[in-house]
Structure 1
Amino acid sequence: MCAFVLVAEDDEKQAELVRRYLEREGHEVAVVHDGSAALAEVRRRLPDLLILDVMMPGTDGLAVTRFLRDGNGSAELARLPVLMLTARSTEDDLLMGLDTGADDYLTKPYSPRELMARVRTLLRRAGGIHPPLPGTDRRILRVGGLVVDPLRHEVTVDGRHVDCTPGEFDLLTVLAEEP
């Protein structure tokens, strides 16, 4: 397990997609569908990273971020990395999210590869990525000369790097998992 990531997203399909990408990279993931549930989960088990939608029923993502940044007596809460993943795409929305305390802001639609790169960056900065334990599977997939590394989103064939679109990468990963 690389890190524990909490995803707060009211769109169940979107939440499932993010969960799958995170798990493919070896992360442990919990999913909630509103801001109040996100705060409850953060109190129950502090994640290494929170991926947060802005527009959720009840307590929205901005209110969740404000609560976390206030710390409420906990320096750990105040330092929790927050990535806002939202359909709100105007410059004012982005500035409001960052000024509220988000560490990063990504608008929908987004590239899953970009999302995973931002996750890796935030976790690296926060010290939340832990190297795999000796003897654990890094999930590198090998079929003949094909090597697919879901953690790094890299594909090689006979030692040569192959550029892939996100769709091609996903397809190769699925095929390599069940050759």
Structure 2
Amino acid sequence: MEYVLVATDSDDLFDDVDASLGDDRCEVGRVNSGAAVFGAVRERQPDLVVLDLQIGNMGGMATSLHLRNEAGGRRLAPQRILLLLDRGADVFLARESEADGWMIKPIDSFRLRRAADAVADGRSWCEHADGRVDEGEPAA
């Protein structure tokens, strides 16, 4: 991955993602609202879009669906989307979001790196409340 876009209004979460994924070969950028994702994606065409479920005025689920709608209308290239969930019960929302993968917070560097690599490579990464992870074909 060369560029990852993170959409979160949490400084701590962004710092965790940046520390986990950012290095000499990968830049991690940020927007603070879901509404800002579309413009940022058009501008930079990230290898991966990481969406926090709870982002101010337009949450991760709505943002994921918006990106899918824009790609379906050929107004935007298809994106690889990883959704960060707040709790296990949010898995239902993640399934409806058309994201390629999701993980349940709190995140750790090892899991995030594995999830990000899977989704950026076109595979799914779907965590469940009981700790199981399904990897495989894209979820969307």
Query: TM-score band (shorter)?
Result: 0.7 to 0.9
Identical-pair percentage: 28
Q: Secondary structure at the match of 1:16?
A: helix
Instruction: Give distance in 2, aligned partners of 1:62 and 1:31.
Output: 17
Q: Secondary structure at the match of 1:24?
A: coil
- Structure 2, unpaired ranges of 5+: 124-140
Contact 1:35 1:61 in 2 (8 A): yes
Instruction: Give distance in 1, aligned partners of 2:50 and 2:6.
Output: 5
Which residue number corresponds to residue 74 of structure 2?
Answer: 74
CA RMSD of aligned residues (A): 1.9
For residue 66 of structure 1, what is the amino acid of its counterpart?
A: L
Which residue number corresponds to residue 37 of structure 2?
Answer: 38
Contact 1:85 1:105 in 2 (8 A): yes
Contact 1:5 1:49 in 2 (8 A): yes
Instruction: Give distance in 1, aligned partners of 2:42 and 2:24.
Output: 25
Ranked by relative contact order (alpha carbons within 8 Å, sequence separation 6 or more), the top structure is: 2
Q: Is the aligned partner of 1:121 residue 2:118?
A: yes
Q: Secondary structure at the match of 2:121?
A: helix
- Structure 1, unpaired ranges of 5+: 127-179
Shift of 1:108: 0.8
Instruction: Give distance in 2, aligned partners of 1:3 and 1:75.
Output: 23
Larger Cα Rg: Structure 1 or Structure 2? Answer: 1
Deviations 1:121-166 (A, max 9, x none): 112227xxxxxxxxxxxxxxxxxxxxxxxxxxxxxxxxxxxxxxxx
TM-score when normalising by structure 1:
0.62
Instruction: Give distance in 1, aligned partners of 2:122 and 2:66.
Output: 22
Q: Secondary structure at the match of 2:63?
A: helix
Instruction: Give distance in 1, aligned partners of 2:40 and 2:113.
Output: 22
Runs of 4+ in 1 over 4 A off after TM superposition: none
